[in-house]
Structure 1
Amino acid sequence: MLYTRRCPVGSVLLLGGTRVEPVRAAKAAGLSITYLGASARTPRAILDSADACMLLENPTPRSMARAARELHSQRQFGVVVTMVDQYLETAALLNAEFGLPANSADVVRTVNDKHRMRAATLDSACAQVAHGSVRNATDLRSFAGRHDYPFILKPVDGSASRGIVLVADDGTLEAAARSLPETAAPGSRWIAEEYLSGPEFSVETFSTDGSHHVLAVTEKFKGENFVEVGHLVPARVGAADNAAMAAEVGALLDAVGLTEGVAHTEVVLTDTGPRVIETHSRPGGDGIVELVRLATGVDLQQLTFDWLAGRPVDPRPAPKARASATWFLTPPEGTVTAVSGLDEALAQEGVTEGYTVLGPGDVVRPLRSSDDRGGAVITVAEDPDTALARARAAAGLIDVTVTPAAVGHGRPVPR
């Protein structure tokens, strides 16, 4: 079935990002695109592809909003779009200010704030997850008293696995409590949630006028500190579990009020059914957009901009799909002395892409967020098991030699 946006646009203001794919997709959809980003980090490919650009020395949400107002006064945009967590709420507020059709600022704020998201599900069809706003150490101890161990503590607006702490006992609670203020602040920046036990997935969706279409279910693999070290599309789960996750994600998107566009929702498949961890009103990171394209034939970027342009879109995956996987490099801590094997990895069967961000002199930090990984490979195959095996084997061919190094020495890893 084909779907068409009721309020098509002819031009887009894109906030931030360093990938050229959104710009090229907008152009392919027939849209005029203006790019607003950072002068120090914008790739030449974006500058060459966009119809107009404005680059800022310090692109904070506030400075981006100020520049967007200046640009909009010169040329009227049809919608403001971003794929960057930092600017999602800014884009929504600008759309509301300019009177442009998009998900409301309240919806985007609810999606971005994990406590607001949990609150939105209380009277919904979503399966409940025990949670509580944590403002200080007293709140943290109170949550433990009500719900026992283990539980998760994380920032309400966190992403890329930053700041996630598993509170397993009294000792780890007291260590976590020391990082929180002792006096109540006006608003909490932390949330405590029951620990959800089971395999983890993400559900990639595209919504049209309030209808939510599942494009793919991604199987996830975790390393230290809950950092993702691999992804696989499609996930190796049965039809019943797929249907249950799709229903749970649909209920969550209904609860937060998301009506259009792409979403990336993380789910744990517990013994009692799927439970949502969090959702995002943007495509999944870590190359998931590319995995979905390779495995299903659906290009999330092109789908997004075709929808905005008023072109009929079909979010259904291809009838005969393949499998695709990515595996990340997670070398031990230390100072890099040599990197080898990338060419050999790229030559392996099924490898479509591979890279490393490491070089001699870089410091490999402890694995605490997605930023601490050293590179990745992407593979395709006719079935998920083979795609995953190829990705892990190819990543294993890339050798990052390190020597122990004191924190802060050496050249920082480029991000």
Structure 2
Amino acid sequence: MTRALAVRSVLFVGGRRTEAMEAAHRAGMTISYLGPKSGLSERRRELVASALLVPDMSADHIVKAAIALHSVQPFDLAMTMNDDFLQAAARINHELGLLANPLEAVTAVTDKAFMRELLRDSEVGQVAAASVRSAYDLRMLPRTIPLPVILKPTRGTASQSIHVIHDTEQLDALARELDFSVPAEDTTPPWLAEEFLDGAEFSVETFSMAGRHHLLAVTEKFKTANFVEIGHLVPARTPAEQQDRIVAEVITLLTALGVQEGPAHTEVMLTARGPRIIETHTRPGGDAIVELVRLASGFDIQQLTFSWLAGEPVDLTPEPVAGAAAIWFLTVPEGKVTAVGGLAEASAAEGVVTAVLTAAVGDLVPPLHNSWARQGDVIAIGDDPDTALQRARQGVGRFTVEVEPPSAPAF
């Protein structure tokens, strides 16, 4: 299968990483960049044929700038790998009539409240949800969704600001503390409340071509009690029957949203009632899931994306490097870093593919409230999932990071 219209030139909106640009370059595309000067690294300068540098990265400004650029230097597709700019890129494609995922589909993956509303009458397993626009809405929540509930930012990323509300006392406290303000022109509610889903969590990595959705991998996920992701494993250790149900639910979701092409990363909770969708994204998974899929499932998601866009025949024959691959993240207590070590030892451990230690002496480690508070990671492979996971965790265990706790406030 090949794409109806081949992409010869692509506009990248924002972002800093180079993997997608590298894949577009290998596919023979002409590359342009629209974004701040800070996003144009030395390597990106080498890859792009032109760049439009803009200081204002609001969605409206991005769209206007891209349309102006297209009038003098046409491009076939606008895209981004950054959640902050997915909606803007979709608007560019929509307003210019470029072949891409429909604007409504991309809006649904960037606006969790809109996604729930869009899925309300679909065949996707239902999750009770309610928009929260004010402290009053929050206090009235138990009338529509029994506690406990999950409260999260409607457009949140990286496991930020997720709350589990167990009782009315906690609910009242959050009603006093949270910010419910939104820009005057924004109709999206700032917060979304959902029923608490209990079970094992997975993500499903897929690739769509002309509305047909293909499984690349099922990822097993590991999180802290406050939902910060600390590990991923490919393939997931789940029976075939359960995996089939999870994948079927994701395909139903992508079809209901109208996703047509490209990678998707969908998070699923396997509950006693069956699989339930947490959220989805029309982009590859973060946290090095792309690398785990390449190693353990044999699919290079970035190259697959740009080969498809370039109109080349796509081969979905897997060529895995290992039976399984895992990543584990280093987490350390809050405080000031006084000593670090163990990177060489972790890198040399059996099965370790990469080891990264980002903590440095003098750093102030924040509380573990989001993905950015993690201080390193190890990717490892093995013949089976248990071995790969054990090697990744043991690799992280070779790191040494000493932290001086923060001083107690003086009264």
- The normalised TM-score by structure 2 is 0.94
- Tell me the distance in 2 between the aligned counterparts of 1:176 and 1:135: 13
Tell me: CA distance 1:76–1:45, structure 2 relative to 1, closer, same or farther (3 Å): same
Structure 2 CA distance for aligned equivalents of residues 319 and 85 of structure 1: 28
**Contact 1:333–1:404, Cα closer than 8 Å, also in 2:** yes
Give the corresponding residue for 1:129: 127
CA contact (8 A) 1:206 1:315 kept: no
SS where residue 203 of structure 2 aligns? strand
1:4 is displaced (CA, Å) by: 0.9
Q: Is the 2:298–2:321 contact (alpha carbons within 8 Å) kept by the matching residues of 1?
A: no
Q: Which residue of 2 aligns with 1:317?
A: 318
2:104 is aligned with 1:106: yes
Range moving further from structure 2, 138-147 or 230-239? 138-147
- Cα distance change, pair 354–37 in 1 and its aligned pair in 2 (3 A): farther
Q: Residue type matched to 1:18 in 2? A: R
Moved more, 308-317 or 226-235: 308-317
1:412 counterpart residue number: none
Instruction: Check conservation: 2:235, 2:324, Cα contact below 8 A.
Output: yes
Structure 1 residues 31 and 272, CA, compared in 2 at 3 Å: closer, same or farther?
same
Change (3 A) 1:140 1:387: same
**How big is the shift at 1:11?**
0.7
Runs of 4 or more off by more than 4 Å in structure 1? 180-187
Secondary structure of the corresponding residue to residue 92 of structure 1: helix
| Aligned residue in 1 for 2:381 | 380
Partner of 1:209: 210
Per the alignment, do residues 57 and 215 of structure 1 end up closer, same or farther by CA in structure 2, a change over 3 Å counting?
same
Name 1:411's counterpart in structure 2.
Answer: none
Change in Cα spacing, 1:362 to 1:320, as seen in structure 2 (3 Å) is: closer
Unpaired stretches in structure 2, ≥5 consecutive residues: none
CA offset digits 1:53-107 (Å, max 9, x no partner): 3444454434433432343223110100111001001001101122211012222
Distance change >3 Å, CA 70–CA 375, structure 1 → 2? farther
The residue type paired with residue 391 of structure 1 is A
Name the counterpart of 1:294.
Answer: 295
How far the C-alpha of 1:260 sits from its partner, in A, is: 1.1
- Could you tell me which residue of structure 2 aligns to residue 252 of structure 1? 253
The 8 Å contact of residues 205 and 263 in structure 1, kept in 2 or not, is answered as: yes
Partner of 1:159: 157
Q: How does 1:72-151 map to 2 (within 5 A)?
A: 72-151=70-149
Once the two structures are superposed, residues 199-252 of structure 1 have per-residue CA deviations (whole angstroms, 9 ceiling, x without a partner) of 111001111111111100110000142000000011000111111011101111
CA contact (8 A) 2:234 2:326 kept: yes
Counterparts of 2:119 and 2:275, CA distance in 1: 14
Cα separation, 2, equivalents of 1:343 and 1:38: 36
Deviation at 1:289, TM superposition (A): 0.7
Kept in 2, the 8 Å contact 1:206–1:263? The answer is yes
- Corresponding residue SS for 2:63: helix
Q: Report the TM-score when normalising by structure 1.
A: 0.93
Aligned partners of 1:149 and 1:168 also within 8 Å: yes
Corresponding residue number in structure 1 for 2:394? 393
**For residues 390 and 213 of structure 1, do their structure 2 counterparts lie closer, same or farther at Cα, with a shift above 3 Å needed?**
same
Opposite residue 389 of structure 1, the aligned amino acid is Q
CA distance in 2: counterparts of 1:209 and 1:144, whole angstroms: 42
Q: Which residue of 1 aligns with 2:332?
A: 331
Instruction: Give distance in 1, aligned partners of 2:35 and 2:246.
Output: 36
Q: In structure 2, how many angstroms separate the alpha carbons of the residues matched to 1:45 and 1:370?
A: 26
Query: Is the Cα contact below 8 Å between 1:92 and 1:103 reproduced in 2?
Result: yes
Shift of 1:161: 0.6
SS at match of 1:157: coil
How many residue pairs match? The answer is 406
Q: Secondary structure at the match of 1:255?
A: helix
Distance 1:29 1:139 in 2: 50
**Segment of structure 1 superposing worse, 313-322 or 136-145:** 313-322
8 Å CA contact retained: 1:25, 1:305: yes
Structure 2 residue aligned with 1:237: 238
Structure 1 residues 393 and 182, CA gap change in structure 2 (3 angstroms): closer
For residues 407 and 20 of structure 1, do their structure 2 counterparts lie closer, same or farther at Cα, with a shift above 3 Å needed? farther
Distance 1:255 1:349, change over 3 A: same
Could you tell me how far 1:405 is from its partner in structure 2?
Answer: 2.5
The answer to whether the 8 A contact 1:61-1:86 is kept is no
For 1:11, which of 9, 12, 15 is the aligned residue?
9
Distance 1:317 1:198 in 2: 30
